[in-house]
Amino acid sequence: MECKNCGFNFEGMYCNSCGQYANTRRINFQYLASEVLNSIFQIERGFLFTLKELFFEPGKCIRNFLDGKRQQYTKPLAYLLLTSSLYIIIAHLLELNTYSKDFAEGFSTGINDSNERDVSGVLMVLNWLASNHAFTLLLTLPLFSLGSYLAFFQCKYNYFEHLILNMYIAGQQMVIYLVVSFAVTKGSFSETLPLIFGMLFNFYVFYQFFNARKPYIRILLFLITYAVFILQLLLLMIVVIALVETLPL
């Protein structure tokens, strides 16, 4: 058997050269479910290597992981949880506004201005989501991954592989948000600058990752991904507001 990670021919359950498990099956629901438990209880080696690769060759890095070369990389959920936790801790210590907090505050203000009903329950949920940034990411990632899956449907990757792709992107975006927040001065534009850099990084990864498609097709499908994602968020907001309207005074 040839190891998918290093190419060494071996027999048995583990590669004699690099130690990777022989059964690196295609990523699906069963794989993702098992990785959730593994990622929560342990952070594997390779964090700094994964961090570097996601900055310089993110498309190649993630393709390697999906193709079975997984031994040297930190697993996607572990990477996302670690970087988002660091982001939240440092943002709290430095009193930086996270983008989820800014969104929740703006949405809460909009509801209060346009609705005379008691919406304290909705505001409590929004504030909790803003304070638990990692959980908010985990809630929105399936929606964004659905958008990328639908947009790049003709590519060979299934929905769960899109979820892995976007976990790595979201984890690296946490690092970018921190770096940009340190670099820029306070001001109205500085609050949106980390998001702009995060979106540019997202485009950079998609452009590298889906390199089998023509450049203008990649750009178009990336825009469609965000359009589908925003549409899903708007539908969720409409549902939330409709539920608030039906609540008794």
The pLDDT tens digits for 210-219 are 998 899 999 9
> Of 91, 59, 103, which Cα lies nearest the Cα of 202?
59
The rounded distance, in Å, linking the Cα atoms of 84 and 54 is 15
Residue pair 143/233 in contact (Cβ under 8 Å)? The answer is yes
Q: How confident is the model at residue 232 (pLDDT cuts 50, 70, 90)?
A: very high
Following DSSP, what letter does each residue of 60-114 receive, concatenated?
Answer: HHHHHHHTT--TTS--HHHHHHHHHHHHHHHHHHTTPPPHHHHHHHHHHHHHHHH
pLDDT at 108 over 70: no
pLDDT > 90: percent of the chain: 34
Residue pair 112/73 in contact (Cβ under 8 Å)? The answer is no
Q: How confident is the model at residue 101 (pLDDT cuts 50, 70, 90)?
A: low
The rounded distance, in Å, linking the Cα atoms of 62 and 74 is 11
Q: Within a 10 A sphere around the Cβ of 110, how many other Cβ atoms?
A: 12
Which of 8-17, 24-33, 91-100 has the highest mean predicted lDDT (pLDDT)?
8-17
Residue pair 53/92 in contact (Cβ under 8 Å)? The answer is no
Number of helices (H), then strands (E), in the chain: 10, 0
Pull the structure tokens for residue 198.
């995060």
Residue pair 233/241 in contact (Cβ under 8 Å)? The answer is no
The rounded distance, in Å, linking the Cα atoms of 159 and 166 is 11
CA torsion sign for 216, 146, 173, 79 is negative
Residues with Cβ within 8 Å of 59's Cβ and at least 6 positions away in sequence, in order, are 205, 207, 208, 209, 210, 211
Give the model confidence (pLDDT) of 13-60 as tens digits: 777 777 777 777 777 777 776 666 565 555 555 888 999 999 999 999
Cα 59 from chain centre: 14
**Single-letter amino acid code for the residue at 206:** F
The rounded distance, in Å, linking the Cα atoms of 216 and 76 is 29
Give the torsion through C-alpha atoms of 212, 221, 78, 91, to 10 deg. 130
SS3 of residue 23 by DSSP: coil
Give the model confidence (pLDDT) of 129-158 as tens digits: 666 665 677 788 999 999 999 999 999 899
